[in-house]
Structure 1
Amino acid sequence: MIKNEKIKASEVQLTGVNGEDLGVMATTEALALAKRLKVDLVCTSLMSSPPPCKLIGAGQAKQEALQEKHQARKQEKAPKVKELRLTPHIEDHDLDTKCQQARRILQAGDAVMLVVKISGKEGSQAKALLEQIIREMAPFGTKRTGIQLSGKQAAVQLDPL
């Protein structure tokens, strides 16, 4: 955040204290206006010419910068992958409970790995079960990978929408 005398541009695009557009003016003129109003002149971006600047109260500028950092940190957080384990012979009520858990996890913004433990020739049952769950979870998430049958388990990962 560049404030007051540290702004090196010859002229700036100025926005007032209440958000009104004051137009393009010389930096010295903008600094004089800021001192007269007892506020800070804060440069919001250096990517354009003339750079956009705001007149902001002293404490408010720091608060705004902290909020921006906090928002950036929130968006940076990678989604966790939570695993739900099932069997091919799951009862209807238990399946509903697992679907509710998956729905809650997806709505919270995390991914769900559905794993069906199989033994013997239950591969087709496990695949059918996972396809049924994927259809039920369609409004809440999309599958990242196809259904993977490997050894003693079948798995699929659902990402939140």
Structure 2
Amino acid sequence: MIMNEKIKAAEVQLTGIDGEDLGIVPTAEALSMAKKLKVDLVCTSLTSSPPPCRLIGAGAAKQEAQQLRKKERQPKLKEIRLTPQIEEHDYDTKRQQAERILNAGDAVQLVVNIRGKEGEQAKKLLEALIRDLNRAGRKQTGIQLSGKQAAVRLDPL
């Protein structure tokens, strides 16, 4: 977000504090108007010519920039480890943990450690978890059985 003197365009498409269209105005005039009203001149997009700019209250511009940064945050990948012989209570705890992570906007990697011939049991456990978590997230990858573990990744909705 480009503000005040950092705007380098010769003229801008100006929108007032209350959303009224003030037309195409030279940048120097728009800056003087902003200083007179004790607000910030904020450029909303640089792709068009002349760039659209708005007059925004000083604190509101900073809050808006923070909200944009929060929305741009990349989801993290968090891993939850399980074993094929899991008790019902432990299963519910892991499911709730995964649901909480997905609702927070992060992805979950469910990993089941396998020993011996537990591959089919691990696959059934992951399928049950995917089914129980379908309202919080969707699977990005299929169930991958490899060596000593079975894994699946769920992305938030």
TM bracket (short chain): 0.7 to 0.9
Return 44-53 or 111-120, whichever deviates more: 44-53
Contact kept in structure 2, 1:14 and 1:24, CA below 8 Å? yes
Which amino acid letter does the alignment assign opposite residue 48 of structure 2?
S
Residue among 132, 137, 146 paired with 1:136? 132
Matched position secondary structure for 2:74:
coil
Q: Hey, what's the Cα distance between the residues in 1 that align with 2:80 and 2:31?
A: 60
Contact kept in structure 1, 2:42 and 2:56, CA below 8 Å? no
The alpha-carbon distance between structure 1 residues 22 and 92, as it changes in their structure 2 partners (threshold 3 A), is same
Q: Are 2:100 and 1:104 aligned? A: yes
The alpha-carbon distance between structure 1 residues 114 and 51, as it changes in their structure 2 partners (threshold 3 A), is closer
Q: Which residue is 1:47 aligned to?
A: 47
Q: Hey, what's the Cα distance between the residues in 1 that align with 2:147 and 2:61?
A: 52
How many residues are aligned here? 155
Deviations 1:93-123 (A, max 9, x none): 2211211111111111122111112211111
Which amino acid letter does the alignment assign opposite residue 118 of structure 2?
E
Contact kept in structure 1, 2:40 and 2:61, CA below 8 Å? no
Question: Of the two, which has the highest radius of gyration?
Answer: 1
The alpha-carbon distance between structure 1 residues 121 and 21, as it changes in their structure 2 partners (threshold 3 A), is same
Contact kept in structure 2, 1:118 and 1:126, CA below 8 Å? yes
1:1-161 correspondence to structure 2 within 5 Å? 1=2, 3=4, 8-9=9-10, 11-25=11-25, 30=30, 34=33, 37-39=36-38, 42=41, 44=43, 45-56=45-56, 60=58, 63-161=59-157
Which amino acid letter does the alignment assign opposite residue 21 of structure 2?
D
Contact kept in structure 2, 1:4 and 1:40, CA below 8 Å? no
Q: CA RMSD in A?
A: 3.0
Q: Hey, what's the Cα distance between the residues in 1 that align with 2:34 and 2:97?
A: 57
Q: Hey, what's the Cα distance between the residues in 1 that align with 2:34 and 2:137?
A: 53
Which runs of 5 or more residues in structure 1 are unaligned?
none
Return 102-111 or 47-56, whichever deviates more: 47-56
Which amino acid letter does the alignment assign opposite residue 73 of structure 1?
R
The alpha-carbon distance between structure 1 residues 30 and 80, as it changes in their structure 2 partners (threshold 3 A), is closer
Give the fraction of aligned pairs with identical amino acids, expressed as a percent. Answer: 61
Contact kept in structure 2, 1:43 and 1:51, CA below 8 Å? no
